[in-house]
């Protein structure tokens, strides 16, 4: 899919994340990521990877297949891939996207896969996050009974 898009002169965009409880912040972020090119591929951390990232004792809430299904249902997403590694470096190397997107909360030099994308003339885009939205915040509100 990515190779076909690039062969036709299109621009492939890649982003990644856990996407555990999909919320408006995720939807806005993914919509903006898709606007960076012609094809958006989203990498989703496998369940074991989420646990290693120590997102919290109850995380992930939804299993990887469920998270992938929900993200794939968004009109802005063209493909979803689940990766088991702790970072998306191997999948970025395999896909060879033209644009790598992360949230603006990431320092530019800390974005995994940047080296791969920039080495082939691509670019890294940092997208502002929608204020007030995060899975951690939603879970905290639920625990306090403020949902």
The pLDDT value given to residue 118? 98
**Cβ neighbours around 120 below 10 Å, total:** 9
- Give residues with Cβ within 8 angstroms of 94, minimum separation 6: none
**Cβ neighbours around 97 below 10 Å, total:** 28
The pLDDT value given to residue 62? 93
**Which positions of the chain have pLDDT values less than 70?**
147
The pLDDT value given to residue 147? 61
| Contact call for residues 126 and 106 (beta carbons, < 8 A) | yes
**Domain residues of the chain, as ranges?**
2-130
The pLDDT value given to residue 29? 96
The pLDDT value given to residue 145? 81
Q: Which CATH architecture has domain 2-130?
A: 3-Layer(aba) Sandwich (3.40)
The pLDDT value given to residue 138? 75
Task: Report the 3 state secondary structure along 114-139.
Answer: HHHHHHCCCEEEEECCCCCCCHHHHH
The pLDDT value given to residue 120? 94
The pLDDT value given to residue 46? 96
């Amino acid at each position: 899919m990515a190779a076909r898009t690039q062969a036709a002169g299109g621009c492939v965009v890649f982003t990644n994340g856990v996407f555990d409880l999909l919320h408006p912040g995720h939807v806005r972020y993914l919509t903006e990521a898709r606007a960076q090119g012609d094809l958006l591929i989203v990498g989703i951390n496998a369940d074991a990877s989420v646990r290693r990232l120590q997102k919290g004792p109850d995380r992930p809430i939804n299993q990887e297949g469920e998270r992938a299904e929900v993200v794939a249902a968004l009109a802005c997403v063209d493909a979803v891939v689940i990766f088991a590694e702790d970072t998306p470096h191997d999948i970025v190397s395999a896909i060879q996207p033209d644009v790598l997107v992360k949230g603006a909360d990431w320092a530019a030099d800390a974005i995994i896969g940047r080296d791969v994308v920039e080495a082939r003339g691509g670019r890294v885009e940092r997208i502002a996050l929608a204020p007030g939205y995060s899975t951690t915040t939603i879970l905290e509100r639920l625990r306090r009974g403020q949902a």
